[in-house]
Structure 1
Amino acid sequence: MFKKGYLIPLLAFLPVLFLSGCEPNMVVFQPKGPAAREILGLINWSLIFMALVVIVVIGLFVFIVWKYRATDKNKDYEPPEEHGSTKLEITWTVIPILIVIALTIPTVKSIYNLEKVPKGYENKKPITINVTSADWKWIFSYPDQGIETVNYLNVPVGTPIKFKLTSAGTMNSFWIPALGGQKYTMAKMETQLYLVADQPGEYIGKNTNFNGKGYAGMEFTVEAQSPQKFDKWVKDVKNTAPKLSEKKYVELLKPSNLGRQTFSNTHLAYVDHGDMHSKTYTFPELYRNHDYPGKIFKEPDNHEMHMEGQAEGKSMEMNNMDMKDMDMSGNSNGGDHSGH
């Protein structure tokens, strides 16, 4: 029924289908960048070894159970005293060691490859994006472009992206499955991740580290677009998006699920959470007995809504609000914000 050459890949794929509920649209098996392809190669290599181990173990189990089953011919058989087989002991000790070595070598190579600019893009200048995780949103700063977004990213296709990852509070895990693997964000320290999108499209990013009630809504989108469109977007943001004040940024850090937001400056002028000596922003009173409704929104971007003077008016309105009258639960759905 199946050609011989397809047997092992088919058997290797069966556990994945089983664990995924037979869902055919698995993002990690549809890489859109070199880092994701590197990881996929490692996954396939591991699946093949898993399939071989399962086949051999189940085969030996069935063979031994059948061969040494109880029958009328051997019901009175009493086996002689034996001290074991040295050859067998060596064999079943060496085989797992060889399997571990065969898995370790490509794993170590992939780990080192993923810590640098992907092969083929070494001569292209990377774009730096500072990633700050907060409960429960993602904040992206473009220091070279002087802009900042919340819960969405725009990146140029075919350009290395150097992510500098940190957290304003709890530890989170930054992951864009279509482009690469996950990496942790931690307060007062910084990790780095290089990714490249070599195909245009929109991809989902998420947090894979459980961090409280708003965890499920802590997603973001990544739009990979041509360099020309990216430059146009940056110019548009700088000309139309509102400024992010330090007071507004502190409000942004409070626990809540937000929609997309865009600003024509970055919070790095006020605080760099990757700095060991940076200020700590914690709001323990807001985590007690509160609910935080919200979802990812795709509506007109906030910087478009602030055009023609609206940005200044809305900013002044926020600054004049009495803190006693504000919802101290940190509820801020961000429903009137969305990105491109």
Structure 2
Amino acid sequence: MKPSGRRVRSLFIIVGLSMLALAGCDDPKYMPVLSPQGPVARSEYYLILYSFIVMLLVVLGVFVIYFYVITKYRARPENKDYVPPEIEGNTKWETIWTVIPIIIVIALAIPTVAVTYKLVKPPKVEAATTAATGKSLTIDVIAEQWKWVFKYPAQNIETVNYVNIPAGVPVNFELTASGPINAFWVPALGGMEYAMPGMNLKLWLEADHPGTYQGRSGQYSGRGFAHMTFNVNAQTAADFAKWVQTTQQTAPKLTQQAQDQIQKPGLLSKPLTFSSTEPQ
């Protein structure tokens, strides 16, 4: 067995190298969950930090007690014949180690429930924003094998493997699937929600400012799962309105042949855009 000193040095080396490796992951593209770009992601980010701090305090407390006990009550030459007394229960300490976990669970549960219910419905859109983008923006999302289909009912537009949204506006996504269960996830904008056949689940997201954010499936669904990604392009209200108008005027109509190809299991070589949501 290695001497204890060598084990401790090895542990410090491993921890140091791990921290050095993580230091290179400060770019948002590597850890988008820790670089929130919208109000939903930001609320969840602060909840993650809070939970991490609470759990870290618990771990530190356990280690402090652990090292205190093994140091204070370790075997020594002067107490090698010591025999501990028989003890049956201790009401004081049993109460303490029962109450503390209850307090910890409550401390984690209250903010988690509060944030969860806060994010169920999007906030109301300001009048000026509503005038620029319409009363609201709802996008129907269908998880195919292995691609994402986005339908804009009010705009009569369909896109595949990318979605355009106006920045600064809550967007309602209504999720379903035509194949295996999937999970719709844009880490920089918020948490994931399942897309399930025969069900219509809801999720709202919002981007703080224009930019491109990668989305993906968070649920394994077969051999094409790793490539089931899409881009969320957040645009200014003016650019989004221009894109809608241009798409409606120039994009091809969705045909039955194109829809059959989309619904067929497999990958697409490039994103698709159509100026209708139903086959013409």
Matches within 5 A, 1:1-340: 21-22=22-23, 23-25=25-27, 26-118=31-123, 121=125, 124=130, 125-258=135-268, 259-267=270-278
Q: Which amino acid aligns with 2:108?
A: L
Q: Which shows bigger deviation, 20-29 or 55-64?
A: 20-29
Q: For residue 126 of structure 1, report the CA deviation from its aligned partner.
A: 2.5
SS of corresponding position for 1:73: helix
Deviation per residue, 1:109-147 (Å, 9 max, x gap): 1111111014x6476532010000011000000011111
Distance 2:145 2:216 in 1: 13
SS of corresponding position for 1:70: coil
Distance 2:260 2:196 in 1: 18
Deviation per residue, 1:280-308 (Å, 9 max, x gap): xxxxxxxxxxxxxxxxxxxxxxxxxxxxx
Quick one: structure 1 residues 265 and 217, their matched pair in 2 at CA, closer, same or farther if it must change by over 3 Å?
same
SS of corresponding position for 1:262: strand
Q: Which amino acid aligns with 2:241?
A: D
Distance 2:170 2:151 in 1: 16
Identity over aligned pairs, percent: 47
Number of equivalenced pairs: 252
| Ranges of 4+ aligned residues in structure 1 off by more than 6 Å | none
Distance 1:153 1:166 in 2: 16
Q: Which amino acid aligns with 2:148?
A: W
Q: Which shows bigger deviation, 174-183 or 76-85?
A: 76-85
Cα RMSD for the two superposed structures: 1.8
SS of corresponding position for 2:76: coil
Q: Which amino acid aligns with 2:26?
A: P
Deviation per residue, 1:314-339 (Å, 9 max, x gap): xxxxxxxxxxxxxxxxxxxxxxxxxx
SS of corresponding position for 2:187: coil
Match of 1:277 in 2: none
Q: Which amino acid aligns with 1:263?
A: F
SS of corresponding position for 1:141: strand
TM-score by length of 1: 0.71
Gaps of 5+ in 1: 1-13, 271-340
Q: For residue 247 of structure 1, report the CA deviation from its aligned partner.
A: 3.4
Distance 2:206 2:86 in 1: 64
SS of corresponding position for 2:71: helix
TM-score by length of 2: 0.86
SS of corresponding position for 1:60: helix
